[in-house]
Amino acid sequence: MKKLKNTKILITIPCYNEDKKLEKNITRLNSFLSKKLKEPYLIDIADNNSKDNTKDIAKKLEKKYSTVKYTFVKEQGKGIAIKYSWHNTGKNYDILSFMDADLATGIDAFPGLIKKITKENYDLVYGSRYHKESKTKRTIGRYIISKGYLFLQKMLLGTSFTDTQCGFKAINKRAYYEIKELFLKKRLSGDRNNMFFDTELLVLAKYKGLKITDYPVTWKEQKETSVKIFKYSILFLRYLFYFRKEIKRN
């Protein structure tokens, strides 16, 4: 495969009720990319029907910067927002990517992530908090749960990913179009946020034989209640069994 030239990059920021930090984070991200990214880019704020002032702030940023766009997504869910952005705004871009609105993953890794696709011909590159060169801060409890989830993925789905849940990924659009029809058509009850999207994306890419690699990042754990962590853990376990069954069916 030839190396990508004149590449246009879409950076999707899925968000729900992010008015307290959206302006600061998007401004910082845009300033960084304008200096460090050689390729043309667009930051697409994919608003998951927020109930706060996210829309007004995003609209203001869209008017202020030519490299920022606001997209309204009626149905809630991180994965829903990303796929909507990629399917619509992404039609005119060569590399589709996303990062979480809180910028928990250090944005300094993004140019390197993109080079893995443009220079080394990888189809999909994902940020990994467990890469040997990564620098992360997290509690022991979250670490054990995360590692346990990766172990179950390996046992049930035959994967060897070093991290699936880090919200920092990029994929060649051609490669994405090879897998987009394989996404689960039904979400499990309780999955309002479509949190399984990250795992699904990587597993389907592996299933289709795409060229995948991880990339080191800096990452700082965000606060989340133990109730939510337990709830998501059970949900993800259910998804692994459900997804395994669906893959075998295909």
CB 67 within 8 A of CB 30: yes
pLDDT at position 186: 84
Per the structure, the complete domain to which residue 51 belongs is given by 9-249
CB 29 within 8 A of CB 103: yes
| Residue 158 covered by a domain | yes
| Residue 77 covered by a domain | yes
Residues ≥6 apart with Cβ < 8 Å to 211:
121, 122, 123, 124
pLDDT at position 1: 44
> What distance in Å separates the CA atoms of residue 131 and residue 153, rounded to the nearest whole number?
17
| Residue 3 covered by a domain | no
pLDDT in tens, 116-151: 999 999 999 999 999 999 998 877 888 888 899 999
Closest CA to 141 of 202, 229, 231, 76: 229
pLDDT at position 125: 98
CB 82 within 8 A of CB 46: yes
Q: What is the DSSP string of 22-36?
A: HHHHHHHHHHHHHHH
pLDDT in tens, 89-126: 999 999 999 999 999 999 999 999 999 999 999 999 99
Residue ranges in the chain modelled with pLDDT below 50: 1-2, 225-227
How many domains does the chain fold into? 1
| Residue 2 covered by a domain | no
> pTM for this one?
0.92
CATH number at residue 207: 3.90.550.10
Q: What does the block give as tokens for 189?
A: 């009850």
Ranges assigned E (strand) in the chain: 9-15, 41-47, 68-72, 95-99, 124-128, 135-137, 168-172, 212-216, 218-220
| Residue 129 covered by a domain | yes
